[in-house]
Amino acid sequence: MNSNEHFVSQVLLRRFTENGHLHRYHVPTGKWQRLSPKKVFSSHGYNQLLVFGQVDNTLEQAFSKVETALPATLAALEVAAESDTTELPLKIFEHLCWYCAFLWRISPFAKSAAPADFVIQLNMDLENGRVDLLRDVLGYPERICQFYRSKHALGHKVIINSPNFLQLVYRIQFQLKYAHDYSKFRHFTKWTICRSPIDFPIADVALTQIPVAKENVTVYGLPLSPRLLLKGQMPNGTQQASSQTTIRGMNMSQQEAEIWQEALCLSAVSELVSTRPIGDVLECRARARAKGIAFTKITDPDAAMVSGQFNYAGDFGLIVVPPDVYVKFIHAFVQPPDK
């Protein structure tokens, strides 16, 4: 119980080391520190679920299984980076997509935002007359489901009302969304391996998601090493599914590389890691904002780090509230980006 669990694989982090160590930038203090990969992007009991004193480590075990194939996948991607186009073996391509789904879904951002995402979805479902979450996920009887529907129809909102619920909702959201994330990365995202002229850091939200409104796409970036970035691009709106396993290789321009370096610096919730210290992290973050890059803010990053250590010992309660209380609940977990 409460073992140190990583949300970014040490296999990946070791690619950013020099003489067995890397440098960690702590966002709240603005200070750099030389550390072992074992001591970054992790927390005690990060993925465990503690319910009525019983420990559930199935999520950590599942992540470990996905990590097993990571060295082979990274090796294949390094080879692909040297060609304009590569048809990856199906197992390698699928593993890449599963791994990205895991990284995204267990990131500090996804974990911190889980209660807000869950409650937003719940209220959207009620607005559309659906009770799937209430009935199928939470196991509420039909009469209770209809009670919440009727209250919502009168203009009320529904929020969570339980102690120590963050880790439980995080696990529920993972189960609900993980397969969908995989499908999104597998069938609707075009992947490119980019060779960079400058060094990249890697953030605690390792798979960085950036909406690009003017092109109506969402772009994902995952540094695989200081000079190698995995980039995915997924169109918004109507999409055409693909079963191909093609990945492109390309040289990234200096200008694009600098934008990505700035975006990666800004995307970090609490920690940023690089082979060597970046001298102007604050300036990088400011330049990213000036270029219109923005990320939803996490209200209390520390809460996500320690939530797995708290025992959940109650019923999963919901309460009906006015819209303004609902908004306060959402903002207790996530807030709009800084302008």
What CA–CA distances, in Å, run from 327 to 123, 131, 158, 321? 12, 21, 11, 10
Q: Look up tokens 């990249």; give the residue.
A: 200
pLDDT at 337: 87
Q: Both tokens of residue 248?
A: 């492109």
Question: 7 and 42 in contact (C-beta within 8 Å)?
Answer: yes
Q: Which helix (H) or strand (E) holds 23?
A: strand 22-26
pLDDT at 339: 60
Q: From CA 81, how far away is CA 195, in angstroms rounded?
A: 7
pLDDT at 120: 97
194: three-class secondary structure by DSSP: strand
Q: 95: which residues sit within 8 A by CB, 6+ positions away?
A: 66, 69, 70, 72, 73
pLDDT at 13: 97
Show the domain range for 16. 4-335
What CA–CA distances, in Å, run from 128 to 41, 48, 125? 39, 34, 5
Q: From CA 101, how far away is CA 98, in angstroms rounded?
A: 5
What are the DSSP E strand ranges found in 29-107? 31-35, 42-44, 49-51, 54-56, 85-87
- Tell me the pLDDT of the chain (339 aa) as tens digits: 779 999 999 999 999 999 999 999 999 999 999 999 999 999 999 999 999 899 999 999 999 999 999 999 999 999 999 999 999 999 999 999 999 999 999 999 999 999 999 999 999 999 999 999 999 999 999 999 999 999 999 999 999 999 999 999 999 999 999 999 999 999 999 999 999 999 999 999 999 999 887 888 999 999 999 999 999 999 988 888 999 999 999 999 999 999 999 999 999 999 999 999 998 999 999 999 999 999 999 999 999 999 999 999 888 899 999 999 999 999 999 999 876
Q: 298: which residues sit within 8 A by CB, 6+ positions away?
A: 108, 109, 112, 113, 269, 304, 333, 334
Task: Please tell me the pTM assigned to this model.
Answer: 0.94
Instruction: Report the length, in residues, of the chain.
Output: 339
Total domains in the chain come to 1
Q: 249: which residues sit within 8 A by CB, 6+ positions away?
A: 80, 81, 82, 83, 84, 85, 86, 192, 193, 195
The CA-based angle 57-300-223, given to 5 degrees, is 70
